[in-house]
Amino acid sequence: MFGKKRVAIVGAGVTLFRRNLKETGKELAYHAAKMALEQAGMELRDIQSVVMGSAPDAFDGVHMKGEYLADGAGAYHKPYTRVYVGGGTGVFAPLAGWWHVASGQFDTCLVVCEEKMSSCYPHPQYAFTTIFDPILERPIGMNLIWIFALEMHRYMHKHNIKKEDIALVSVKNKRNALDNPIAQLAANITVEDVLNSEIMAWPVQRLDVSPTSDGAAAAVLVSEDVAKEVTDNPVWIDGVGWCIDSTHWTNRDLYYPDYVEYAARMAYKMAGIKNPPKEIDVAEPYDPFDYKELHHMEGLLLCKKGEAPKLTREGVTQRDGDLPTCPSGGLLGCGNPIAAAGMMKVCEIFWQLRGEAGKRQVPGDPRTGVAQAWGDLMQYGSVIVLRR
Amino acid sequence: MSIKIKHFPGEEIETKDFREGKVLFESFHPKAKYAWSAGIAISRFLEELKNGRIIATTCSKCKRIMVPPRIYCEKCFKPTDGWTYVKDTGVINTFSVSFLAADASRLKEPIVVAIINLDGASEGMGIVHRIEEYGDWREIKIGMRVKAVWKPPEERVGAITDIKYFKPLKE
Amino acid sequence: MSLEKITNPFNARHWIGHMEADYRYTLGVAGERFFKEIKEKGRIMGAKCPVCGLIFVPPRLYCEKCFAKLDEWVDVGKCGYIYTYTIVTIDVDGKKLERPQIYALIKFEGAHGGLIHKIGETDKVCIGMKVEAVFKPPSERKASINDIAYFKPAE
């Protein structure tokens, strides 16, 4: 066992994900945090520490956003840590929560992720452009979609992948999202719809992309002793891994995310997983774009390099397939409030393993699940393995 | 999204609700200006661009020639131990044809952006820049050879835009 | 290609730029009600926690101490007292103001928290001094903190 204590998730909560929500960031954090506590059957006073994950301050438009959101996250007069690794935040926050409990310093930790992208007006695009190097990249006129387009193109070129196969991911996830009560963009679309949608930055088209959103998600993490008291059905965090590459994204081959593989290996080693495709029952890789699900499936060692499109074509990643992937509907179907999106995936694995996912439930009594998030300038991977 | 939860909170509003006064809000425009220090490596890089040249740094331990240049090798963490010029020609590693400008507004004529692996640098070492003079964008291919088109010397200021764009090399 | 003479390392370069952004902050569920009361009824409201008994000003959706939902709203009146104050001589851009302006944190009796606002109609204030909100005429109110023009010394 890694760490002094085994750590379990005992409750989770998610708000609606929408393009515009009326609630302030604090109110969103509160809703998710309160729901997670209620689901765990716990009160705020039972919480000894809080971890908040939220991506750039520039989205909500409040400097030191972590501090601003603290009281909504239940952190009043508590030890509090804000973590941020761009899109990787949603899985990194529960990892940081794991440190709090596994170290033995705390028995309970409330992990909250929030994002209110609608405050950035008229579009969060402005906040995204500042991710680029101000001297070498911004003067070129970089738009965030471009880095995805460049990566997608390289991936397609390396493995000779057709757009039709990539579009299948968007079709699958948006359809899965029809069964998700919080989803923003659930729809029944076809591959033709994707291929006919507006070209944004070729090869990226409109239906390849997840939208910007407001939303929050939270979970309660506790030590083994506390888990025994509050639930018969804890879900254990058995593996954590994280890894970063440099911002010299023009210096590496973008067809494969090495840093996701390193994070995955770290988490699998901890969890004692030697054969990921066989031992993992359900997966929630980060899917802000459809090709990213494929890219990340390979980085998570769920299949060989270049093999993910074939598995998708063959239906392996459908809910009733051998490796259900993004049964929640993912970001493509639910929306992408950056940090909350990754946390939503962790919550989804939690509910899947407990058999509480309703219409989205993958059959066959899943026992091991993996969630992954990816962030910054195509450089960061965070991976969590959950087990019942 | 557990079946145990009956209600998911969040009051949805539409973008037009702001215009129509249905939702109350405060506006703010931060006035933040910056003077970013280019640092040791990029200061030299920019100086050399003004001279019409592209410079890289070398790590003798890892045997890498790195562009954009840097004062430390991020792999072995030793200071980079030399400078060397690389060519202003290279190969398209990947590219995108964008109908979106930096502010997300729609463009009639696309912008083509690419990672160009420069000749003389280590394999995979690239910079990002625009491609122009390509004719039909559907003809651009990964692996195509390109060459930098520079601004005339009197217009160069020491910026990445001293290179106007890269154009396909007809061999 | 041979290396040119190494340039002067003291010629460190800068790149000038700015970060473009515009923001629209929703007032939130609690905030919208608070400012609607100010705009339409000229009332300053607080929200009471059913568990702790604290009355929060400005009011909010939840109690930060115990996380209870705050559904009970109360009118805290227009009069408060100066908890602390400062005399400001420069504006947000660093330019000198024509006349110094007093800003204070005004608390309300029985309530937790307070409002930051201008003090008007006097140059002399002290901590503990009773002050009263002066509202703009209804037609000029925009559901903003500036619908209160300033706080003046109360009788």
Dist CA C22 CA A100 (whole Å): 37
CA dihedral sign, ordered A168, A169, A172, A178: negative
Determine the Cα–Cα distance for residues B14 and C63; give it in Å rounded to an integer.
Answer: 28
In a domain, B136, yes or no: yes
**What confidence tier does C21 reach under pLDDT thresholds 50, 70, 90?**
confident
Does residue C10 sit within a domain?
no
pLDDT exceeds 50 at position B141: yes
Domain contains B128: yes
Find chain A residues with C-beta within 8 A of C17's C-beta: 134, 138
Measured between CB atoms, does C12 come within 8 Å of chain A? no
B64 located within any domain = yes
Statement: residue C57 has pLDDT above 50:
yes
Q: Hey, are the CB atoms on B1 and A204 less than 8 Å from each other?
A: no
**In a domain? residue C52:** yes
Chains touching B (3+ CB pairs < 8 Å): A, C
Tell whether B94 lies on the interface with C, counting CB pairs under 8 A: no
Section B30-47 average pLDDT:
88
pLDDT of residue C10: 55
| Residue of chain C whose Cα is closest to the Cα of A120 | C23
- Residue C12, domain member (yes or no): no
For residue B110, what are the domain limits? 39-168
What is the pLDDT at residue A56?
87
User: How does residue C155 score in pLDDT terms, banded at 50, 70 and 90?
Assistant: confident
pLDDT at A131: 87
Minimum CA–CA partner of A218 in chain B:
B1
B23 in any annotated domain = no
Q: With contacts defined as CB-CB under 8 Å, which chain C residues touch A61?
A: 21, 23, 25
**pLDDT over 80 (residue C6):** no
Does residue B29 belong to any structural domain of this protein? Answer: no
Is 60 exceeded by the pLDDT of residue C7? no
Does C86 fall in a domain?
A: yes
> How many domains does one find in chain C?
1
Compute the nearest-CA separation of A105 from chain B (Å): 30
pLDDT tens sequence across A277-333? 999 999 999 999 999 999 999 999 999 999 999 999 999 999 999 999 999 999 999
Q: How far is CA A122 from the centre of its chain?
A: 25
Report pLDDT for C12: 67
In-domain check, residue B19: no
Is the pLDDT at A48 greater than 90? The verdict is yes
Whether the CB-CB separation of A371 and A353 falls below 8 Å is answered with: no
Structural domains for chain A: 7-122+211-387 (3.40.47.10)
Interface contact flag, C62 A27, Cβ < 8 Å: yes
Give the pLDDT of residue C9: 52
What share of chain A has pLDDT > 70, as a percent? 100
Q: Quick one: pLDDT band at residue B15, thresholds 50, 70, 90? A: confident
CATH number of the domain that residue C91 is part of: 2.40.50.140
Contact A125/B103, CB-based, under 8 Å? yes
The model's pLDDT over A143-184, given as tens digits with 9 standing for 90+, comes to 889 999 999 999 999 999 999 999 999 999 999 999 999 999
* Any domain includes B71: yes
CA distance C46 to C54: 9
What value does the mean pLDDT of chain A take?
Answer: 94
3-state secondary structure labels for all residues of A22-45: CCCHHHHHHHHHHHHHHHHCCCHH
Q: How many domains does chain B have?
A: 1
The answer to whether the CB of C84 falls within 8 A of the CB of C70 is no
A33 to chain B: nearest residue by CA? B9
pLDDT at C5: 47
Token pair recorded at residue A121: 């007006």
Answer yes or no: is pLDDT of A120 > 90.
no
Domain-embedded: residue B1 = no
Residue C2 lies in a domain: no
Interhelix angle for C28-36 vs A25-40, to 10°?
Answer: 130
Question: Which residues of B, range 14-73, sit inside 8 Å of A by Cβ?
Answer: 14-15, 17, 23, 27-28, 30, 34, 36, 38, 42, 46, 66, 68, 70
pLDDT for residue B163: 97
What ipTM was predicted for this assembly?
0.87
- On chain A, the residues whose CB falls within 8 A of the CB of C29 are 22-24, 27
Q: What is the mean pLDDT of residues C3-32?
A: 76
Query: Domain limits at C113?
Result: 28-153
Please state the rounded mean pLDDT for residues C10-34.
Answer: 85
Provide the CB-side half-sphere exposure for C133 (13 A, CA).
25
* Residue from the list A26, A119, A127 with its beta carbon closest to the beta carbon of C24: A119
pLDDT by residue (tens digit) across A163-174?
Answer: 999 999 999 999
Predicted pLDDT of residue C11:
60
Instruction: Assess contact for B149 and B163: CB atoms under 8 A.
Output: yes
